[in-house]
Structure 1
């Protein structure tokens, strides 16, 4: 995800400097060096201090009309998802993907455990290939379910930290329902102007995929 950013910065720095050197213009070299520093330094400080950090809390939602009654949608939300459905191509570009899931019940709480695979950095070859995203059921009532993330051992934490999932549904008629899937997370990468749109786009695609995989009977 970060490679295009590094390449763009390298080109933005090297190209004008090379043109100035080719022209043998020391004044232009100095001017362009100052302009490059004025542009690069503020961006490089983002995320270093609280003052230079753009808000990392994000909320992304996707809505879809599904061919199922509201009661059928509610039942589907607590059944086994179908993660074998084809994911959007963008989500296959290095992001971890769900491979298995289970819902655990005990006397105190209900947990949704999603096993994720992929996204490892391959820096040492020793990173685990799978991890679990664990969510706790915080609220469940007609038309709304809210899960809060309590732990994540998957490689998704390289990119972001999940906060909560909110699913809302409303009957359109007896056989169709509008489902809205909201993902709230903490962006883990800077700068925001580069990684923010990429992560929001991925989260929006993921929300739509989850509607297809979880909310549709």
Structure 2
């Protein structure tokens, strides 16, 4: 019979291997209820036309992460990542969104999902009785724009100012000629594939003159167009109102008013400024507000390029 090595384990060595957590009926039941509630919320949000609210980008990831984190597995973060990715892609298909929406929303969704997972697992491992309380508290930021909580600062304004090497009268002539299709120079707009006008028509700076910005269609349908009309004219200033917007960008924001001004800084230079008032279409405000501000700023800069004021 072979000798048995009974050498004692060196001092200070401990067996740190822990048995895998047990899957109890209570855990599975709670995870299932949270998942079911998440599905009901998703259907209700879409049917009520609130798919652009924080419910979709904050509350639903919280529910998804909570359900997966409560299932006793060691790879909770891996499961959350996989499930969140699938949910993002399915939402993009179900809501007919393009890649840009998935790209912009993904950092928020992943952060919320993994943050929720980490918090719930920490509370469970510490045997704290706060797991059930944590989920409703985490859902609160996801109520913005859902109808259960107000929208925060949806009315936003973007201003772009540029000094061009032209006298003021030449600038006025170029503005009166109207915009023309121009290649996009902005790196963020190009990298993200942000829709920009591919068909542009119209000219004039007299009240009633109209400028049309047409967008190319996509796999989800026609691109639509934006129609702006000259509303008021004073020396060095033109105000526009938007009379029609069927463009593919209308879901993300609503144009309200635009103001174009110019003034000579010296004999050969003119300062041109465009101010655009719009209503943000996506919540939560603390995330999508700055993003839309930056992208629309780049878009207004592209409009100056289309007016040959680069």
TM-score computed with the length of structure 2 as normaliser: 0.60
**Partner-residue secondary structure (3-state), 2:159:** strand
Instruction: Report if the CA contact (8 A) 1:114-1:132 is conserved.
Output: yes
Instruction: Report if the CA contact (8 A) 2:178-2:211 is conserved.
Output: no
Which residue of the other structure, out of 96, 108, 115, is the alignment partner of 1:12?
115
Structure number with greater Rg is 2
* Structure 2: gaps of 5 or more residues: 1-103
Tell me the C-alpha RMSD between the 2 structures.
Answer: 2.4
Instruction: Report if the CA contact (8 A) 1:96-1:116 is conserved.
Output: yes
Displacement after TM superposition at 1:36 (Å)? 5.1
What is residue 96 of structure 1 aligned with on the other side? 195
What is residue 201 of structure 1 aligned with on the other side? 294
Larger mean Cα displacement after TM superposition, 167-176 or 200-209? 200-209
Q: How many residue pairs align between the two structures?
A: 205
Question: Relative contact order, CA 8 A, sep 6+: which one is greater?
Answer: 1
Does residue 64 (structure 1) correspond to residue 162 (structure 2)? The answer is yes
Cα distance, 1:46–1:169 mapped onto 2, change above 3 Å: same
TM-score computed with the length of structure 1 as normaliser: 0.84
Displacement after TM superposition at 1:75 (Å)? 1.2
Instruction: Report if the CA contact (8 A) 2:260-2:274 is conserved.
Output: yes
Q: 1: distance between equivalents of 2:220 and 2:295?
A: 27
Q: 2: distance between equivalents of 1:126 and 1:201?
A: 25
Does residue 154 (structure 1) correspond to residue 154 (structure 2)? The answer is no
- Deviations 1:68-90 (CA, angstroms, capped at 9, x unpaired): 11111111112243432333122
- Deviations 1:34-61 (CA, angstroms, capped at 9, x unpaired): 34532x2221110123852113111110
What is residue 177 of structure 2 aligned with on the other side? 79
What is residue 283 of structure 2 aligned with on the other side? 190
- Deviations 1:12-31 (CA, angstroms, capped at 9, x unpaired): 1112323444x3x321xx33
**Partner-residue secondary structure (3-state), 1:7:** helix
Give the number of the structure whose residues are more often strand, by fraction: 1
**Partner-residue secondary structure (3-state), 1:117:** coil
Cα distance, 1:144–1:50 mapped onto 2, change above 3 Å: farther
* Structure 1: gaps of 5 or more residues: none
